[in-house]
Structure 1
């Protein structure tokens, strides 16, 4: 193979990968915008109250949690910061929501992107959710002690 063939194969493969990713990301962004416009995300956060109790977070924390789960860390962080500034989240809630989202964020987009390159989506999603639940619930048991010792 000469350089031209290698470059052609690299460009073709890269364009193909970008198009596969775009097929997933663009429709997902449209659906997310529709969900936001119809306030379905707000209604969904109300249904997350049992999860909030399990994770040891307040009910006010469910909206930033659901945003981070669906939209990812960048957008979720903006909602978390805004909620904290408005006084809707205390330090315990902030830590627990962030811990959960570190392990499990942007579940649709990330999972679909990895499926597009050959990963087992159900295994990936299940593992992320289980790890996030275990980490957050364990941290919830000890966070009051941790926060009181560190004076954070």
Structure 2
């Protein structure tokens, strides 16, 4: 088969995958868009913003973005993007603020689904929820204060998703949402192309090789480390499924199962989800490298505290 035919076959395959993925995500985003519009018209967004304002103020974000974060936690990242696109035009956001929001969404999103996955894999709902919610807030605060201290990302955010003027008519609003959905489809296509290229160039395999030797220092054996890396790159659902399969064999201890799931919960979808947040204007350093470093540091603290508590409670 010639190179042209191979490229054509790959593009057709990516096109099919884009259509399928887009349809699945449109089924989520369209209801969120409509729901957000109804809440905005009823003045409910203002109420939510006031309630969330003290919490979001800790990370330097306006209260309106609390609704975006809550939407992402209850639905998906695409649901959060839909809410963000509807609310962002009325807000004057900096690059730092969009990066903070993106980082918090990456750590804590799709909680109803993903917490069930980690529970089935062997971790408790409450500890995992606390790690993700607490981790998102702590990392958000760290990013906020670092950005203020170093005066980085203070320029106006470059936001690709727009919803138009708040005073527009219904027809114009619908047109703006159709454009936003079109942008989402284009973003999905680009992400799938990039993922294929990274896989073909061996970048994903290189990431696995770089991370695997490090993870045993964070309470994981050489059995758990490769599975954890796969989950961090491919996503929590995939990594959780591998953990569930391994637990049936009994070769992984409960402690390393918890540590593995904690790290995957804090830091998964390293490529695809990161690219998605970059599409709304988040900075790579904050949502990838900083998040990875923070996740490893937090897990290290969790492991050390757990070891200390175990040593104190164990009989001499």
Which residue does the alignment assign to 1:9? 176
Match of 2:187 among 12, 16, 20: 20
Which residue does the alignment assign to 1:102? 265
Paired with 2:207 and 2:222, the residues of 1 have a C-alpha distance of 12
Greater fraction of residues in helix: 1
SS, match of residue 89 in structure 1: coil
Change (3 A) 1:13 1:49: closer
Change (3 A) 1:49 1:104: closer
Once the 2 structures are TM-superposed, how far is the Cα of residue 4 of structure 1 from its aligned partner? 2.0
Conservation of the 8 A alpha-carbon contact between 1:32 and 1:71: no
* TM score, norm. by length of structure 2: 0.40
Once the 2 structures are TM-superposed, how far is the Cα of residue 28 of structure 1 from its aligned partner? 5.1
- Length, aligned pairs only: 144
Q: What RMSD over aligned residues (CA atoms) do the two structures have, in Å?
A: 2.8
* TM score, norm. by length of structure 1: 0.78
SS, match of residue 57 in structure 1: coil
Paired with 1:33 and 1:103, the residues of 2 have a C-alpha distance of 23
Runs of 5+ unmatched residues, structure 1 = none
Change (3 A) 1:66 1:32: farther
Once the 2 structures are TM-superposed, how far is the Cα of residue 111 of structure 1 from its aligned partner? 0.9
SS, match of residue 271 in structure 2: helix
Conservation of the 8 A alpha-carbon contact between 2:212 and 2:229: no
Once the 2 structures are TM-superposed, how far is the Cα of residue 29 of structure 1 from its aligned partner? 5.4
Change (3 A) 1:121 1:44: closer
Runs of 5+ unmatched residues, structure 2 = 1-167
Aligned 1:127-146 pairs, distance under 5 A: 127-144=290-307
Match of 2:241 among 71, 78, 90: 78
Conservation of the 8 A alpha-carbon contact between 2:231 and 2:264: yes
SS, match of residue 107 in structure 1: coil
Higher CA-based Rg: 2
Paired with 1:128 and 1:46, the residues of 2 have a C-alpha distance of 19
